[in-house]
Amino acid sequence: MQTDRYGQSVSTADPDAAAAYFDAIDAFLALDDDALDGFGRAVEKDPGLAVAHLGLGLSLAADGRDGEAREAFAAAVRLRRDHPDRLTAREARQIDLITAPPGYLAAYTEHLERHPGDMLVLGFAAGLLSGRRIAAGTGRDAVLILAARPGEAFPDDWALAGICSLELEEAWQFAAAEAAAQRSLRDRPDNRAACHGYVHVLHETGRITQAESFLDDWFHTRPARSPLQTHLRWHHALVALEADDTEAGLRRYHAALDPRVSGRRTTLVDSAAVLWRLHIDGHGDLPWAPVAELARAQLRGPRAALFDVHAALALAAVDRAALGTLRDAWRAETARPNRDVVLAVLDGVAAHGEGRYDEAARHIGGVLSAVSLVGGSRLQQDIVVDTLCDALARSGEPGRAADILEDRKLRRRSRRDERWIDALRRRAAAEGR
């Protein structure tokens, strides 16, 4: 057996397979597409290395290749079943936790208590459990809970710091999030997870000029091969819109977010969010058609709140019949704890798209306090708040819209919000409201 940098045994006698696997783990944790090639090399060197098939499945899923991912996961499960004596107990449990995720946090906590260096499990859980707990209305603290024991065992680990940086930011711990991101980037300068957490901190603390400079440098000096690449480009476009530079925002959209040039898993969410902001800001003739195609494809898949809300934005612009189908699908999701909130947002977006702004405001306003159940980060959820404020302004309540944006200022300093509030206050004064 070979041993990784956390002191964990990996069930292969082939040093080349082990080296490829260890490099692939690090690349996966850094959100680097090289993970896909690395796990593939490990499987080629040792086809019986079950955890390499598992990592390959995760990388294929991150690349949007779901059918191939299922095949890789099936291979890992088959090897775990047919050759149990070859795997360590940690590897066997790792395969179970990732291919058949339990519905409770304790299963992951127990595993990481025993194996605090199993960052693959922590990295997987960071996405899975955050989404589950958000949808259930129980907060985003799951990953920080899971990271407690690994943090004690490996306090200076770049991968752990990168995973935690965004979760710390979403927990309002901006200084700790920034420190974690910077520590991670010092030891792994291409870690997109840490880059993502750091950019969120800059957004939330109003340091837009610094975010612009950081991202400009990032895209000029880091390779583009990452499942997070399109999403980081979304942040770059948002920075331009914050600075009231619509031309730069659209240029960045067409260069990296337009579905005709980006095939990443996050493309639907990222592209729809930029175009809807531009729509709210009064820009017409926007390139909705390619985004609507992604939205229609989303209809054919399983329901996912964040993706479906962004699909609704595109469909409200160009395909109201398909939006009706999406709303019907969510009405049928009676077992989901976030169903009523998501449905209210979808109904509000549909009403907004049809010009029924008072109804849009009523639907979304009724669930404003529960907008976190849509999922994603606060910055992503802001698109729902923006839609509400636009609907209020268009239905004769600009003062109320300004009040909501003023409340958001307590959380995040935003140049775009400042401009919007000024315009709404002037309008309210002119209308005597």
281-290: average pLDDT: 95
218-237: average pLDDT: 93
Q: Any bridge partners for residue 192, and if so which?
A: none
117-140: average pLDDT: 72
Predicted local confidence at residue 431, as pLDDT: 84
Q: Which two tokens stand for residue 223?
A: 């390779």
Question: What's the N-to-C CA distance of the chain in angstroms?
Answer: 74
Question: Distance between CA atoms of 260 and 143, rounded to whole angstroms?
Answer: 34
What is the enclosing helix (H) or strand (E) of 57? helix 50-62
- For the cut 60, the answer to whether the pLDDT of residue 134 exceeds it is no
346-361: average pLDDT: 98
**CB 79 within 8 Å of CB 63:** no
Question: Distance between CA atoms of 209 and 221, rounded to whole angstroms?
Answer: 18
Give 234-276 pLDDT, tens digit per residue.
999 999 999 999 999 999 999 999 999 999 989 999 999 999 9
Give 16-70 pLDDT, tens digit per residue.
999 999 999 999 999 999 999 999 999 999 999 999 999 999 999 988 899 999 9
Who wins on pLDDT, 431 or 194? 194
Predicted local confidence at residue 146, as pLDDT: 86
Mean pLDDT of the chain, nearest integer: 94
198-209: average pLDDT: 96
Quote the distance between the C-alpha of residue 289 and its chain's center: 23
Nearest partner of 39 among 66, 8, 73, judged by Cα:
73
- For the cut 60, the answer to whether the pLDDT of residue 328 exceeds it is yes
Collect all residues with Cβ–Cβ distance below 8 Å to 355 and sequence separation of at least 6: none
Give 94-112 pLDDT, tens digit per residue.
999 999 988 777 889 999 9
Collect all residues with Cβ–Cβ distance below 8 Å to 407 and sequence separation of at least 6: none
CB-based burial, 193-219: b 16+ in 10 Å, e otherwise: bbbbbbbbbbbbbbebeebbebbeebe
SS3 344: helix
Q: Which two tokens stand for residue 232?
A: 């980081």
394-398: average pLDDT: 97
Question: Distance between CA atoms of 244 and 414, rounded to whole angstroms?
Answer: 11
Question: Distance between CA atoms of 348 and 352, rounded to whole angstroms?
Answer: 6
- For the cut 60, the answer to whether the pLDDT of residue 433 exceeds it is yes
Per-residue confidence band for 131, with pLDDT thresholds at 50, 70 and 90: low
Collect all residues with Cβ–Cβ distance below 8 Å to 186 and sequence separation of at least 6: 158
Secondary structure (DSSP) of 179-214: HHHHHHHHH-TT-HHHHHHHHHHHHHTT-HHHHHHH
Per-residue confidence band for 305, with pLDDT thresholds at 50, 70 and 90: very high
Predicted local confidence at residue 104, as pLDDT: 78
Nearest partner of 168 among 183, 156, 152, 179, judged by Cα:
179
Give 154-192 pLDDT, tens digit per residue.
999 999 999 999 999 999 999 999 999 999 999 999 999
Q: Whole-model pTM?
A: 0.93
Say which amino acid occupies 134. Answer: I
Q: Which two tokens stand for residue 153?
A: 């065992």
